[in-house]
Structure 1
Amino acid sequence: MDKIRTPSLFPQRKKQKGMHPPISLSSCEVKFSELVIFIMERKMGVTRRTFLMELARRKGFRVENELSDSVTHIVAENNSGAEVLEWLRGHKMRDSSRFELLDISWFTACMEAGKPVNSEKKHRLMVKASSFVAGTVSQYACQRRTTLNNCNKKFTDAFEILVENYEFRENEVPCLAFMRAASVLKFLPFTIVRMEDLEGLPCMGGEIRNVIEEIIEEGESSRAKDVLTDERYQSFKLFISVFGVGLKTSEKWYRMGFRTLEEVKADKTLKLSRMQKAGFLYYEDLLSHVSKAEADAVSLIVKDAVWTFLPDALVTITGGFRRGKKIGHDVDFLISSPGLGQEEEEEEEVLHKVIDLWKKQGLLLYYDLIESTFEQAKLPSRKVDAFDHFQKCFAILKLHQQRVDTSSCDASKESDKAEVKDWKAIRVDLVVSPFEQYAYALLGWTGSRQFERDLRRYATHERKMMLDNHALYDKTKRIFLKAKSEEEIFAHLGLDYLEPWERNA
């Protein structure tokens, strides 16, 4: 193994007796297929890299010549973690979380053992928050590219439990603090392993740091653990899982002594709203996740219905599915057309016609139609979480299973069962926007919630503007700024454009 430590000797010894000639990957038996190694040439040179690649292949390791999606381990020599990240960004690899970034010492240990060894802390290339990007991390999520690749899930999962509990107790200040901290951690392209990694990061107050420190040291948060066993939290969590039940109703039911849904349903004196009755009726279906395949199937139903009455309509899926999520709780759609907004009656009739069509088709299980409340003279709302004024329909549709791609399922087994339910209840939200407001509506309904909060905060505090789902108002110039696309809105705000899948804050 001295040969690995003395790179200058390799070229001279290449042709000596006992040295193996260069070999191709196909001539080696792969013994350890669970990991795929890529060796960086940077600061190493082509000769040494070639030797190490061949050595690893002879010992049964799989080594790739080029960086690809199949690579699991990146090995570097005389490179810091920050330098490797910079190199990856130069090769259009923004997401480094899928790779293990390792020093050559790990590779050496594997060669000595003749098999993969665990990547200990001393082998891993650590990256500090202050070094992985130029400058500091922004406090605003709209200035951070946040994908679904969360390297700090063990921290953010605990934060989200605490956030939910604070929401149940309507304790806004710590709720927002933990939400912002979770958003920052989701953005990081590395896992926090020590408190020093938090240096320079925004939104990391004392209470936040205490929770992070405990998770680093103990592996879990005692505060989050206590919340999960709290009777009030458990009851509220259960109650709000019912479609149509919010915090006020949950508080009322809890004060009435209810702790389970069975107790709620057993009370004959309780008056439930139409929405809550539907929530209980289709509870199991609505509680289960909506898959991407189901969302695509619902999309076809919605488009077919809308295009029957507005052939030129834009029907765009929004929310989590537009941000790249594979599962969700409902499916949101934004509907617009060049004609909408010009004829008010036509705008209001679209959803009415769609609803009537679904009734005739037997697809509509429940709906709640809210008419538009928008006033043209109204400025964008000053409230960060204000509701918009678009016409909306909150519906539950019957999705027949044959509309979903079930090619991976064994359909023959299902056909043998008697009285099998062949449909699933799916929550669908429809929003109709005038065409001139479409870009703002699309931006607002895409999310995530924290991204939208920070986007409006940024507009107010950094640009002296007011932004909502309808418009952007420049308070300095006293004008509304028109936009035909999301890109134009970002440009008005002086922000780099973030793709929908980069808004998972």
Structure 2
Amino acid sequence: MHAEIERLPGCSTKIAGLWNEWREDGLVQEVEDAKVNTRLCVLKLFYEIWGVAETTAREFYKKGWRDLDDIVEYGWDTLSRVQQIGVKFYEEFQLKIPRAEVESIGQTILQHANKLHTGFQMVIVGGYRRGKKESGDVDVVLSHPNPACTLNFVEAIVDSLENDGYITHTLTLSTKNSERGQTPVSWKGEDRPSGSGFDTLDKALVVWQDPVWDKSAAEKNPNLHRRVDIIISPWSTAGCAVLGWSGATTFERDLRRYCKREKKLKFDSSGIRSRTDGRWVDVESDANGPAPDMLTAEKRIFSSLGLEWRSPEERCTDG
């Protein structure tokens, strides 16, 4: 078995040894040691603050900070607004969201969308769609057959949910797709500037709290704050949005690799482009026109790429 593992792509002798250790002992000692390593535990704590990346977590540690109280006492004024929100709701953001609550949040978003423009469709993506019993956050993709309805819609849906008390904070709001008229942008090639980001779908990353509670039992709203991502996709690329945001990470990586190596295509959640001439490739329409719904559009992508359909539950590649 050791030799077989070494023959797998990306698997070195060390990886094979770690696998054998896990098979024989049921654990990997390096992992167990990391769990009790004080420095790594602190870095993990900081890294899990929403808005804090790996580099910032290390900077916090170098300053001598060892817990959230240190950040609040010594560095609160140096934090960005988003990082302050991440610290404030750290414990609540760490709590998992059961499927029933994920579904309730999704339905509330869809109801508000259809109040603004009848005909919106929604798919809850992320770990929920892959069948996880609990989720770290809620990701939803909204789309509408009429492109006029998705243009600048992210601002309208956020305003609607804010006015009804569901959104307490907006962490990030991007309208890049609307700013370019929702036209699928051509691929600029491997030499485009780093950090330019290619998923340019309109999206809002927000903090959510159910505003309804029994006021006779509690004076302050006891409902947990949750992290919610609302993604708006034009109908022409809604299948790519659903596929790209459903995960898991390794599945998405392998899908992009397959598109690149076998089809000379560039895939991401905002569409598919040719690596030969950069043009957008419509893989979601057929002879009868656009897909009737977002899930049909996703299935057409698999077919167009020459791939066997895999249900979301079969895409759980990250454990």
Task: Give the corresponding residue for 2:168.
Answer: 365
For 1:301, give the aligned amino acid. Answer: T
Q: What is the SS of the residue equivalent to 2:273? A: strand
Superposed counterparts of 1:284-323, under 5 Å: 284-323=91-130
User: Quick one: structure 1 residues 438 and 419, their matched pair in 2 at CA, closer, same or farther if it must change by over 3 Å?
Assistant: same
Instruction: Find the counterpart in structure 2 of residue 440 from structure 1.
Output: 240
Task: State which of 181, 186, 196 in structure 2 corresponds to 1:378.
Answer: 186
Instruction: Return the alpha-carbon distance in structure 1 between the equivalents of residues 270 and 163 of structure 2.
Output: 33
Native 8 Å contact 2:186 2:273 kept in 1: no
Structure 2 unaligned regions, length at least 5: 285-296
SS at match of 1:487: helix
Please name the residue that 1:257 is paired with: 64
Q: CA deviation at 1:281?
A: 2.3
Cross-structure match for 2:305? 493
Deviation of the 1:352 alpha carbon: 1.8
Query: Against the structure 1 CA distance between its residues 476 and 280, is the aligned structure 2 distance closer, same or farther, given a 3 Å change threshold?
Result: closer
Q: CA deviation at 1:208?
A: 0.7
Candidates 8, 22, 31, aligned match of 1:224: 31
**Percent pairwise identity:** 27
What secondary structure does 1:423 align onto? coil
Letter in 2 for 1:445: W
Aligned to 2:209: 398
What amino acid is aligned across from residue 227 of structure 1 in structure 2?
A
CA distance in 2, matches of 1:493, 1:244: 36
Query: What letter is aligned with 2:234?
Result: P
Distance in 1 (CA, whole Å) between partners of 2:277 and 2:201 is: 26
8 Å CA contact 2:154, 2:175 repeated in 1: no
Deviations 1:237-285 (A, max 9, x none): 1012222222232122112121211111111564222212222222222
- Matches for 1:130-149 after TM superposition, within 5 Å: none
Are residues 250 and 268 of structure 1, via their aligned partners in 2, closer, same or farther at CA, if it must alter by over 3 Å?
closer
In the alignment, is the contact (CA less than 8 A) between 2:202 and 2:232 conserved in 1?
yes
The corresponding residue for 1:464 is 264
Larger radius of gyration between Structure 1 and Structure 2: 1
CA distance in structure 1 between the partners assigned to 2:164 and 2:23 by the alignment: 55
Alignment of 1:63-462 (within 5 A): 195=2, 198=5, 201-268=8-75, 270-340=77-147, 343=148, 346-367=149-170, 368-373=172-177, 376-379=184-187, 382=190, 386-400=197-211, 419=219, 421-462=221-262
SS at match of 1:399: coil
Does the C-alpha gap of structure 1 residues 208 and 267 become closer, same or farther in structure 2, counting only changes over 3 Å? same
- Deviation of the 1:309 alpha carbon: 0.8
Q: Residues 377 and 244 (structure 1 numbering): CA distance in 2 closer, same or farther, change over 3 Å?
A: closer
User: What's the secondary structure of 1:494's corresponding residue?
Assistant: coil
Contact 1:380 1:467 in 2 (8 A): no
- Distance verdict in 2 for CA 1:226–1:444, change over 3 Å: same
For the 8 Å contact 2:99–2:134, the answer to whether it is kept is yes
How has the CA–CA distance of structure 1 residues 312 and 257 changed in structure 2, closer, same or farther, with 3 Å as cutoff?
same
Match of 1:433, SS state, is strand
Structure number with the bigger relative contact order (C-alpha 8 A, sep ≥ 6) is: 2
**Are the counterparts in 1 of residues 185 and 280 from structure 2 also a CA contact under 8 Å?**
no
The Cα of 1:195 is off from its aligned counterpart by 4.4
Q: CA RMSD in A?
A: 2.9
TM-score (norm 2): 0.83
Deviation at 1:204, TM superposition (A): 3.2
TM-superposed deviation, 1:422: 3.5
When the two structures are aligned, how many residues end up with a matched partner? 297
Deviation at 1:379, TM superposition (A): 1.1
- 1:307 positional shift: 0.8
Partners of 2:66 and 2:230 lie apart in 1 by 33
1:482 counterpart letter in structure 2: D
Q: 1:203 to 1:253 in 2, by over 3 A?
A: same
